[in-house]
Copies of this chain bind each other. A is one copy, B any other.
Amino acid sequence: MVLMPLLDTSAGFAAQALTAVAELTTPVAVVDETVLERNLARMADFARRSGLKLRPHAKTHKSPFIAQRQLAHGAAGLTAATLHEAEVFADAGVTDLFIAHPPVGAGKRRRLAELAERGIRLAVAVDDPSLADGLPAGVEVMWEVDTGLHRVGSAPGEPTARGVRGLRPGRLRGLFTHAGQSYAIERALAAHQEWEGLAESAAVLRAGGVDVRELSVGSSPTAAWAAEAAAGGITEMRPGTYVFSDANQVALGAQSLENCALGVVATVVSAPERGRRVLDCGTKSISGDFHVKGLEGWGIVLGHPDLRIDRLNEEHAVVLGEADLKVGDRVVVIPSHACTTVNLHPALLFVGAGEPRWEPVAAHGWN
Which residues of A come within 8 Å of B, CB atoms?
23-28, 59, 81-83, 101-102, 104-105, 107-108, 111, 127-128, 130-131, 146, 150-154, 180, 267-272, 276, 278, 280, 283-285, 287-290, 311-316, 318, 327-328, 339-340, 343-346, 365-367
Contacts and interface: CB of A to CB of B under 8 A. Distances in A.
A104 B146 CA distance: 49
B339 A314 contact: yes
B101 A327 contact: no
Contacts of A269: 101-102, 104, 152
Contacts of A283: 287, 289-290, 340
Nearest to A268: B104
A104 B327 CA distance: 7
What secondary structure prevails in chain A residues at the interface with B? loop
A288 B341 CA distance: 12
Given A272-B152, A284-B340, A313-B180, A107 B25 contact: yes
Contacts of A128: 270-271, 327
Given A25-B83, A25-B108, A153-B272, 18 more contacts: A24-B107, A25-B111, A59-B315, A102-B269, A102-B327, A150-B276, A151-B278, A151-B311, A151-B316, A152-B272, A152-B278, A154-B272, A280-B367, A283-B287, A283-B289, A283-B340, A314-B339, A314-B343
A327 B107 contact: no
5 contacts: A25-B367, A28-B367, A81-B314, A150-B318, A283-B290
A114 to B, nearest CB: 12
B81 A315 contact: yes
B146 A272 contact: yes
A287 to B, nearest CB: 7
